[in-house]
Chain A
Amino acid sequence: MDSVVVNHIVKTYGDVRALTDISLTVEAGELFGLIGPDGAGKTTLFRILTTLLLPDSGSALVCGLDVAKDWREIRTRVGYMPGRFSLYQDLSVEENLSFFATVFNTTVKENYDLIRDIYVQIEPFKNRRAGKLSGGMKQKLALCCALIHRPDVLLLDEPTTGVDPVSRVEFWDMLDRLKKQGIGILVSTPYMDEASRCDRIALMRDGRCFTTGSPGHVCQSFQKLVYSVRSANMYKLLADVRSWPGTYACYTFGDSHHLTLKDDAPNLENLETCLKEKGHTDVLLNPVKPGVEDCFMELGAN
């Protein structure tokens, strides 16, 4: 059975269209990523799937149960990590965990095997108040609390936002282990580089889902060739590449700029000559494979 099925969901707040015709499916044991910035509608979708909001139209099933009718049952079957840290700041690590176990009518002991790998990392601080934990540790505790009743589906709203790159990698490693136990996971993130950790992704922006598929498939669907451009003066290079007539778009990408061309662009030797005339040295121009971030930025352009 599919973990999550979303059919043509629409949600508006007054004049604001938060979600426009969203459809997607998360299979059991699948790690599905919603990739998009603030304001894309990700949190609204999570709130509908956790039965905290009703859609205006369309339907959704979680563990085969209807979000509008079977809300009581769904709430016992999902583990939810809201975007905002929502544990009790003035309870200790251990107290938070046993509180959530009690709410779901179970004990920490009963489901300890599911959280062991994660909990051992924060156990040395089990008497510390949750509010005194750092970002990475808060996320680990929140994940333990979301798992303690052995849910069939995990819904994680931006679990890695504001978390440093090392803790982020650790967090995704944990999700990998959880999906192998058959848990379907829907996770949202504004970090484009995390898309590669998902089985499938949907690119979301302004309440719409654009491309859906495996990260590789999404990148293959990118229509344009992408080149990386470098020179000794990267800041000046950006303006100079943008002013070249053949440039469709040019954006910074870490230590290089990514360039896409207009259909009628002159050949690249012309660009190289142009750049040298403008005083650039050490010019390097190479084709590169587009990544999820290239694809996402193209959505913005359209």
Chain B
Amino acid sequence: MHVIETDKLTKRFGNFTAVDRISFRVESGEIFGFLGANGAGKTTAMRMLCGLSVPTSGKATVAGYDVYKKSEQIKKHIGYMSQKFSLYADLKVWENIRLFGGIYGLSEKRLADKTDELLHTLNLENERNALVGSLPLGWKQKLAFSVAIIHEPAIVFLDEPTGGVDPVTRRQFWELIYDASARGITVFATTHYMDEAEYCNRVSIMVDGRIEALDKPSVLKETYHAENMNEVFRSLAKKATRGE
């Protein structure tokens, strides 16, 4: 089954076409990198896929639900985290887990088990009662990711999850992503770190609201005669003509 399927998905704001007829599919369990320059339309596209913004035209389903008619169902079956907002800084670690677990409708028993399991996996057992605001950024992001998938969603959307995180923790974060994907959770991620693009099964690159390229990193490098994904990205993003 395809966890995401779009057909000519479009979003216009007045005269401005932010997302221009994008058609693509994301397979179950895949790690999908959603790349593009600032202003290329990534955030608008993601908002439509998360059921937060109604498309102007085109079709899309996420986890089998239609983005026009079933946006509330979509919200229940996805996870989301971003660099900017993830957890409540003035709640304790266990309180954040409880809050999000509760929102996603986990039973008391399941929540208690999940909390223990999660703190153990992340090595945060001693921080159970610490305020989230007091944790280093990298720990916070790992916790935020685990909380975003606490309800075992079909797919998790990650919007620049590793910005500013130190190199070692950034890699540990990607190991959590691999584990989630191995458990069958589809991962849809944006990043400005091009080494992270290499860790994705497939990558799409948006330019001026369109998907200009979509394939495995190895194929993209071959197609664009590039040494690495940074070069692929640059040769495509340079084609942008619209003002940011």
Which residues of chain A have a CB within 8 Å of any CB of chain B? Answer: 36-39, 124-125, 133-137, 158, 161-169, 190-193, 205, 235, 238, 251-255, 293, 296-297, 300-301
Of all chain A residues, the one with the shortest Cβ separation from B218 is A255
Contacts of B210-243 to chain A: CB distance below 8 A? 217-218, 228-230, 233-234, 237-238, 243
Of all chain B residues, the one with the shortest Cβ separation from A251 is B171
Taken together as a complex, chains A and B put the C-alpha atoms of A167 and B40 apart, in Å, by: 12
Chain A neighbourhood of B14, CB < 8 A: none
A interface footprint on B191-215 (CB within 8 Å = 1, 0 otherwise): 0111100110000000000000000
Taken together as a complex, chains A and B put the C-alpha atoms of A162 and B218 apart, in Å, by: 25
Judge whether A165 and B237 touch: CB under 8 Å: yes
Please tell me the number of chain B residues within 8 Å of chain A, measured between CB atoms. Answer: 37
Partner of B243 from the list A124, A192, A254 (CB cut-off 8 Å) is A124
Chain A neighbourhood of B174, CB < 8 A: 252
Q: Which 6 A-B pairs have the closest CB atoms?
A: A37-B166, A134-B39, A134-B244, A254-B195, A135-B38, A164-B37
Which residues of chain B have a CB within 8 Å of any CB of chain A? Answer: 36-39, 83, 136-138, 160, 163-169, 171, 174-175, 178, 192-195, 198-199, 217-218, 228-230, 233-234, 237-238, 243-244
From known contacts A37-B138, A38-B165, infer whether A137 and B195 are also in contact, taking CB-CB under 8 Å.
no
Chain B neighbourhood of A297, CB < 8 A: 167-168
Judge whether B38 and A136 touch: CB under 8 Å: yes
Chain B neighbourhood of A168, CB < 8 A: 192
Closest chain-A Cβ to B5's Cβ sits at a distance in Å of 26
Of all chain B residues, the one with the shortest Cβ separation from A296 is B167
Of all chain A residues, the one with the shortest Cβ separation from B37 is A164
Chain A neighbourhood of B199, CB < 8 A: 252
Write 8 A-B pairs (CB below 8 A) sorted by A numbering.
Answer: A36-B166, A37-B167, A124-B243, A133-B244, A165-B192, A166-B233, A191-B193, A205-B166
Taken together as a complex, chains A and B put the C-alpha atoms of A167 and B234 apart, in Å, by: 10
Chain A neighbourhood of B193, CB < 8 A: 191
Taken together as a complex, chains A and B put the C-alpha atoms of A124 and B238 apart, in Å, by: 18
Partner of B192 from the list A36, A162, A254 (CB cut-off 8 Å) is A162
Judge whether B165 and A165 touch: CB under 8 Å: no
Taken together as a complex, chains A and B put the C-alpha atoms of A166 and B36 apart, in Å, by: 10
Taken together as a complex, chains A and B put the C-alpha atoms of A192 and B160 apart, in Å, by: 17
Of all chain A residues, the one with the shortest Cβ separation from B197 is A254
Judge whether B244 and A161 touch: CB under 8 Å: no
Partner of B217 from the list A125, A161, A255 (CB cut-off 8 Å) is A255
Taken together as a complex, chains A and B put the C-alpha atoms of A163 and B192 apart, in Å, by: 7
